[in-house]
Amino acid sequence: MAYMNSWIRHIHLEEMAREAYDILIVGTGAGGGTVLWRLCERLAKEQLRIGIIEAGDLVVPTHTQNLPTYNVDDVANMWRNPKYVKYYRTNAASGAVPIPIDFQQPIIFGGGMVHWGTTSIRMDPVDLAEWPVSIREMNYYYKIAERIMNVTRRVAAGSSVQEVMLQRLRENGFPEATDIPMAVDFTATQNGRINSSFFFSSILLIARALNLHSFDLAVKARVTRVLVENGRVSGIEAMSRDKKPYTLRAKTVVLSAGTFGNPHILLHSGVGGNAVGHYLANHSTVDSFLKVQRSAFAEVSGISRVLIPRSADRSYQFLLFGGDYYQPFKIKPLSDEWRIWLGAHGKVQSRYENKVTLDPVRRNEYGIPDLQISFSYSEEDMEIISEMAAASVLVASALKMPVSGEGEVCLRHPGGENHEMGTCRMGENPETSVTDRFGRIHGILGLFAADNSVLPTSGTANPTLSTVALAIRTADYISEQLK
């Protein structure tokens, strides 16, 4: 138990409340971890006070799949444990089609990256054309993000199943099928440098930051409000695990509490414009499983990770996952029937009516109004969903791998894909966006957002690489102001 609390140095909010910070970051997920690392790198020589505050506890020191004792069932249970995840449930969705909603917000040191699948795809230029940051600039920041996240296409390389699948797809109508870029580190352990972090997470960025600049960290510390005086941020209010409130002073605050955490803080503070909490988006996801006979291949011990990217006339992407690299020491029975997951991620419209708001009645364990979510798919979203379902059958047929089970091409409930975004989206117009193109909250000096909440539109690519790229850009902007 003592070790569980000492693998990274952290202090109590009471101690942080005695300091005056130059920069405070809220949240240690993809956005918060990236901003911390980049600021510590860019400001390494500056005498600045930096702090980072996390609502969750220290639970695992790395991506769960880097743990040799990783057990897929235990982690699934951990992921469902309300101690580490806040669920937003409703079955009362209105809109084109009533679909149950079950969004979830990880509350844990490291955020969603403790569990994420590491799929790291750039947004397509068709989608980036709608963003307030130029494609050229995005490409510059994507390159940095890919470097620090060790993004590679090598994961399934050499597997006969991967080669057969790519060949069949390319010959049968999907010439753009390719290997999925994933954030995993293939560097061998050598010359005394131990690589124990194959799967990337924001905890690695926080570890790198530790070696660049000193910073204070508080965990089990829930930020409830940002404080603004005369149009300028002056600090935050946070509660400790025993629900005691503290005021922390800061000249710059970066909110990286995620798609639900950020608007929750802003709405409860009465800060930000009309767009705060609105334009909630995700990726509509259509799942199917394909049947493969092991005996049809030379060997199937490898894995497959295939991407069919979106195109100008197709507002969705496909991912195919076969085999796994989980549970390295588990002995599994060799079965002749093998299943491949085929998932389609569709673009979802950014609509004002898809939103999070403060619940007028319910309060959370910190005594502040809970969030409620209104979300539905539009008719346009439903058209893309129908196209994805029809195209899934075409992909299965191109692969000569039938869909397993009658009619088993299913629409996943919104939130089940964990790609929520957009509640503090970036844009030029303060009426329809929350931050400007650098992640600065419109109209408030020194207050920024950097995480999935700022993504301007959903596109079709898994969100995290784009979030990391934009968070680096926001950190560069802040460091230029502070140098």
Ligand X SMILES: Cc1cc2nc3c(=O)[nH]c(=O)nc-3n(C[C@H](O)[C@H](O)[C@H](O)COP(=O)(O)OP(=O)(O)OC[C@H]3O[C@@H](n4cnc5c(N)ncnc54)[C@H](O)[C@@H]3O)c2cc1C
Cα separation, 58 vs 219, whole angstroms: 7
209 to 268, contacts with ligand X by CB under 6 A?
222-223, 256-259, 261, 265
- Candidate residues 13, 24, 25, 31; the one interacting with ligand X per rule CB under 6 A: 31
422 forms part of the interface with ligand X (CB under 6 A): no
Cα separation, 443 vs 374, whole angstroms: 27
108 forms part of the interface with ligand X (CB under 6 A): yes
452 forms part of the interface with ligand X (CB under 6 A): yes
CB of 301 to ligand X, least distance (A): 23
The alpha carbon dihedral of 408, 410, 416, 421 has a sign of positive
- Rg of the Cα trace of the chain? 22
Q: Which stretch binds ligand X (CB under 6 A): 35-43, 320-328, 387-395, 462-470?
A: 462-470
Closest to ligand X by CB, 168 vs 262, is 262
454 forms part of the interface with ligand X (CB under 6 A): no
At residue 229, what are phi and psi to the nearest 5 degrees? -125, 125
103 forms part of the interface with ligand X (CB under 6 A): no
154 to 183, contacts with ligand X by CB under 6 A?
none
Residue 237, token pair as written in the block: 């209010």
Q: Are 455 and 425 in contact (CB under 8 A)?
A: yes
415 forms part of the interface with ligand X (CB under 6 A): no
Cα separation, 244 vs 234, whole angstroms: 20
132 forms part of the interface with ligand X (CB under 6 A): no
Three-state helix/strand/coil letters over 358-396:
EEEEEECCCCCEEEEEECCCCHHHHHHHHHHHHHHHHHH
CB of 19 to ligand X, least distance (A): 17
269 forms part of the interface with ligand X (CB under 6 A): no
The residues, ordered by sequence, that sit 6+ positions from 393 with a Cβ below 8 Å of its Cβ are 403, 409
- Candidate residues 66, 118, 159, 284; the one interacting with ligand X per rule CB under 6 A: 118
Residue 449, token pair as written in the block: 């957002």
27 forms part of the interface with ligand X (CB under 6 A): yes
The alpha carbon dihedral of 86, 71, 110, 10 has a sign of positive
Place of tokens 């470097």: 147
N-to-C CA span, the chain: 41
Closest to ligand X by CB, 234 vs 364, is 364
Residue 235, token pair as written in the block: 């600090």
Closest to ligand X by CB, 61 vs 168, is 61
At residue 182, what are phi and psi to the nearest 5 degrees? -135, 150
CB of 257 to ligand X, least distance (A): 3
Closest to ligand X by CB, 29 vs 382, is 29
Amino acid (1-letter code) at residue 247:
T
345 forms part of the interface with ligand X (CB under 6 A): no
The residues, ordered by sequence, that sit 6+ positions from 375 with a Cβ below 8 Å of its Cβ are 93, 95, 101, 103, 280, 282, 354, 355, 414
CB of 439 to ligand X, least distance (A): 12
> Which residues, in sequence order, are bridge partners of residue 233?
228
356 forms part of the interface with ligand X (CB under 6 A): no
Cα separation, 100 vs 94, whole angstroms: 10
- Candidate residues 467, 470, 475, 478; the one interacting with ligand X per rule CB under 6 A: 467
Closest to ligand X by CB, 315 vs 464, is 464
CB of 255 to ligand X, least distance (A): 9
CB of 412 to ligand X, least distance (A): 13
CB of 213 to ligand X, least distance (A): 20
> Which residues, in sequence order, are bridge partners of residue 38?
none
Q: What is the DSSP letter of 56?
A: S
Cα separation, 21 vs 129, whole angstroms: 37
Closest to ligand X by CB, 56 vs 272, is 56
13 forms part of the interface with ligand X (CB under 6 A): no
Q: Where are the beta strands (DSSP E) in 221-301?
A: 222-229, 232-239, 245-255, 284-293
Q: Are 410 and 395 in contact (CB under 8 A)?
A: no
64 forms part of the interface with ligand X (CB under 6 A): no
Q: How many residues bind ligand X (CB under 6 A)?
A: 37
55 forms part of the interface with ligand X (CB under 6 A): yes
Closest to ligand X by CB, 418 vs 433, is 418
Cα separation, 408 vs 410, whole angstroms: 6
309 forms part of the interface with ligand X (CB under 6 A): no
CB of 295 to ligand X, least distance (A): 31
106 forms part of the interface with ligand X (CB under 6 A): yes
- Candidate residues 451, 470, 474, 478; the one interacting with ligand X per rule CB under 6 A: 451
Closest to ligand X by CB, 452 vs 479, is 452
Closest to ligand X by CB, 17 vs 97, is 17
**Interface with ligand X (CB under 6 A):** 26-32, 53-56, 106-108, 111-113, 115-119, 222-223, 256-259, 261, 265, 418, 451-452, 462-464, 467
